[in-house]
Amino acid sequence: MATTTTVLAERRDEELPVSALLALAMTGFTAILTETLPAGLLPQIGTDLQVSEALAGQLVTSYAAGSLVAAIPLVAWTRGWRRRTTLLAAIGGFLIFNTLTAFLTDYRLILVARFLAGMAAGLSWGILAGYARRMVPERLQGKALALAMVGTPVALSLGVPAGTLLGAAVGWRAAFLAMSATTLVLIVWVLRRVPDYAGQPAGETSSVRQVLTTPGVRPVLAVILTWMTAHNILYTYIAPFAALSGLQARTDLLLLGFGLAALAGIWLTGVLVDRMLRTLVLASLGAFALTALMLGAFGGSAAGLIACVLIWGLSFGGAATQLQTAIGDAAGDGVDYANAMVTTVWNAAIAAGGLLGGLILDRWGAQAFPWVVMALAAAAFAIAAASRRHGFKPGRRGAA
């Protein structure tokens, strides 16, 4: 009888809390869709607010800026809060500021609302990975994190096109109100299904400096900066690059293919991340660098571009899970600070990719993108390969 009870307990221990993890994934989905929704509705927003499309695009920039500056301070401020309270505060920020965005008519006030929504996103990204890891034993943390991060590729592959279609059908303000409605559902979901955990007492918290100097943390952040800058050069300017092969009118389908391939990548990562994290990171970066080389050689071919986009999506899909798992393992109890740093560096890479890509496009044209991307991907690969002892360890996670 005792043996049977032990076996049943072990089986329960092996089960993932799927509903709770999917609530975290929905939080990530909401953060990504809130950020990217204006991008597909710039003409409508510009006409309604009587500003240019370039100024309407700053609604995305303002959101990213909020995440960039707020992630670390907000995570530090809330580390002593109970975890579910902190999560609900972030989700409540999406509800409030998306609703304000839908009703405000002054462009400047909307920019402020978007900045504050970005701050809510910075807080949510700072705690999601640590929250997911606390729900399961160490040997299941990679799988749990993969499931909690699935909202990102789903938002990019399905949410953004769906939001754009909804905005085109009923107006951009109604699209933001629809986001608020789904956020209300998410709040109920979190209250019913997501377990609560205590925050860290003030005397037990690490400082930002301590976490940053922990062995392995800085190499992972360096990989994020180089990898995501390379990714965003290509992702932000995919339309002018697609024009080289005559597919500029099919950019939406290219991005849909990228997103679907990314879903496959995150599934593959979920299966393998706890057994071979280092191998996954190096394989993903190697595939990305190879994709850039192929784009440089065959990017003018429609078939070549499509094939490269699919490989690129597959290599990128598991990136968030792989990198957050690596930095969580390195940071230990400082995982929340570490993931706030990830949010900061990730948004810096988004900005750097947009800026650097624009400079390259103006000076050398879209045909130069693959070579810059390949150089950055190779640099990220070299950093990851060198960080064998602390940042990207070989073998099964948790093995002594």
Q: Residue 76 has which token pair?
A: 């530090």
Q: Parse the chain into domains and list their residue ranges.
A: 15-205, 206-400
Q: How far apart are CA 37 and CA 118, in angstroms?
A: 13
Q: Residue 353 has which token pair?
A: 């990719």
For the domain made up of 15-205, the CATH class stated in words is: mainly alpha
Place of tokens 């309604």: 48
pLDDT score for 105: 93
**For 171, left (φ over 0), alpha (ψ -120 to 50), or beta?**
left
CATH number of 206-400: 1.20.1250.20
Neighbours of 118 (CB within 10 A): 28
Q: For the chain, give the number of residues.
A: 400
pLDDT digits (tens, 9 = 90+) for 126-152: 888 889 888 998 888 878 877 887 887
Instruction: Give me the tens of pLDDT residue by residue for the chain, a chain 400 residues long.
Output: 444 444 444 444 567 899 999 999 999 999 988 987 887 677 788 889 998 876 777 787 788 889 888 888 998 889 889 999 999 999 999 999 999 999 999 999 999 999 999 999 999 988 888 898 889 988 888 788 778 878 877 786 677 677 777 887 888 999 999 999 999 999 999 999 999 998 876 555 566 778 888 888 999 999 999 999 999 888 877 778 888 888 877 777 787 788 889 889 988 988 888 888 999 999 999 999 999 999 998 878 888 899 999 999 999 988 988 998 888 888 877 777 787 888 888 878 877 887 788 788 888 988 999 999 999 999 999 999 999 888 898 888 765 4
Q: How far apart are CA 28 and CA 200, in angstroms?
A: 23
**Residue 30 near residue 153 (C-beta atoms within 8 A):** no
Q: How far apart are CA 146 and CA 325, in angstroms?
A: 9
- DSSP-assigned letter for residue 157: I
pLDDT score for 11: 46
pLDDT score for 36: 79
pLDDT score for 26: 95
- The angle subtended at Cα 86 by Cα 83 and Cα 89, nearest 5°, is 150
Q: How far apart are CA 69 and CA 73, in angstroms?
A: 8
- DSSP-assigned letter for residue 195: P
